[in-house]
Structure 1
Amino acid sequence: MTEFRVLIVDDDFHVARVHSTYVDAIPGFTALSPVGTAALALQAVHALRPDLVLLDLYLPDTPGLELLRSLDLDTIMLTAAADPESVRAALRRGALGYLIKPFAADGLETVLRGYARYRRLLETPGTLDQAGLDRARRALLGAREPNALGRTRSGTETAVLETLASGGLLSAAEVAALVGVSRATAQRYLAALADEGSVEIQLRYGATGRPEHRYGLRD
């Protein structure tokens, strides 16, 4: 699973730190040190190369909507500005999402989990078809895939879910052994179930080497 590095841009240091704790609590996301001005944001983007910026509209030196024009990377607005024109302007200028303050931790978690699914879908090797693009857009909006809402599951897909239902977090290799399929097949089903929101992915770090992906059913 990709580890997404997130830069929070908010002039209220207390709020920024709270949002940082929200981000750090979500598997697959790490909050960088927040910044409170547009100038510091541009410096941090240049130096740290974050994957995602969480941007407030109200900044002391340059409005967030103006800064948004200068950011050539994924950005989601986190702001108290709730007027329709601000929302429309942010989306016109490239914001991937818009979350109105105040919000609880689970509100931001929903947005970031949707962003993670969106990135995974768009990083699939090869070209996209329209169905794949539509899935990515739905993921970004936090929508569950249709197969999470009643589609009849295949026998292998059902077996994977039943294996995960036994509790705990399992690796793709462990799921493959328990279900009786190849690791590649198990990985394919697990990735699809994660994209639809039925399965969560966490990282387990060992003493050396790459972190291991672990899979479990979402609550």
Structure 2
Amino acid sequence: MTIRVLVVEDDFRVARVHVDFAHRVDGFAVTATARTAAEARSVLAARPIDLVLLDVYLPDESGLDLLGELTADAIMLTAASDGATVRAAYARGALNYLVKPFTAEQLADRLTAYRHYRALVAAERPLTQAEIDRCWRVLHDGDRPAAPKGQSAVTVRLVSEALRGAARPRTAAEVADELGISRATAQRYLAALARDGIAEVQLRYGVTGRPEHQYRWASVTSSR
């Protein structure tokens, strides 16, 4: 399945970059571009579009106004980073939000996650709650920071999931036992998550008085 993309961006040079970035991702084809909301409406009326890559700042009106009318899915690609705009974009149906300037890899991560999400919701039968929950996780899988140099992306994901699914703060030893890795490795990955703000760390003093680090999924990321 090829996902048909419309790029809505008033700067033709930036639009060309977005088109190039999207074409590098398997399964995506940019079938049209538009400089204004009016041009975008004409394209949407004339041909099938699956995904709109949409800017907020358009010459004729706000991209947020167009967003509220879309029946196609949308990902915001914009320089607007204020909280009110972000909230409005999500409230009007944006599936993701990427602030300019961004790299080809950052867009590719989100497009790949969107492709996986589309595959999950393509089922012709009713989805279970677990499958719906998985759709949300898959859709935002590309939002996570890339694994730091020298770290395995797979291990980052496993440690993250072990922490996110926990009902209480966990120690490196507990995570290590669950995943079958060394305590030192678990500690290193947990510390990296804490540095990135993905996890929160606190100290617990045991019977010997020696402090022990405990980690929990940060509240600001708990909805992912």
Shorter chain as denominator, the TM-score bin is 0.5 to 0.7
Residue 142 of structure 1: CA displacement?
1.5
2:158 matched residue in structure 1? 149
For residues 11-160 of structure 1, the aligned pairs below 5 Å read 11-142=10-141, 149=158
Superimposed CA distance per residue, residues 99-144 of structure 1 (whole angstroms, 9 cap, x where no aligned partner): 1000000000011011011111111231111110011101111269
- Other-structure match for 1:178: none
Aligned counterpart, 2:219? none
| Residue 69 of structure 1: how far off its partner (Å) | 1.3
Would you say the 8 A contact 2:76–2:94 is kept in 1? yes
SS in 2 for 1:5: strand
| Count of aligned pairs | 149
Give, in whole Å, the separation in 1 of the partners of 2:134 and 2:2: 21
Q: CA deviation at 1:33?
A: 2.8
**Equivalent-residue separation in structure 1 for 2:124 and 2:56 (angstroms):** 35
Amino acid of the structure 2 residue aligned with 1:87 = V
Amino acid at match of 1:91: Y
8 Å contact kept, 2:76–2:96: yes
* Separation (CA, whole Å) in 2 of partners of 1:119 and 1:98: 17
Whole-angstrom CA distance in 2 between matches of 1:72 and 1:119: 15
SS at match of 1:32: strand
Amino acid at match of 2:134: R
TM-score, length of structure 2 as denominator length: 0.63
CA distance in 2, matches of 1:122, 1:68: 21
Q: Distance in 2 between matches of 1:101 and 1:41?
A: 20
Give ranges in structure 2 of 5+ residues lacking alignment. 145-153, 162-224
Give 1:56 deviation, angstroms. Answer: 0.1
After TM superposition, give the deviation of residue 53 of structure 1 in Å. 0.2
Residue 68 of structure 1: how far off its partner (Å): 0.9
Give the letter for the 2:49 counterpart.
P
d(CA) in 2 for partners of 1:33 and 1:75?
14
Aligned partner of 2:26: which letter? P
C-alpha distance in structure 2 between counterparts of 1:87 and 1:138, whole Å: 19
1:149-172 deviation per Cα after TM superposition (whole angstroms, max 9, x unaligned): 279xxxxxxxxxxxxxxxxxxxxx
Greater gyration radius: 2
With normalisation by structure 1, the TM-score equals 0.65
Q: Which residue of 2 aligns with 1:205?
A: none
- In structure 1, how many angstroms separate the alpha carbons of the residues matched to 2:5 and 2:71? 14
SS at match of 2:34: coil
Matches within 5 A, 1:177-188: none
Question: Contact 2:32–2:43 at 8 Å: present in 1 too?
Answer: no
Structure 1 letter corresponding to 2:7: I
Runs (4 or more) in structure 1 with deviation over 6 Å come to: none
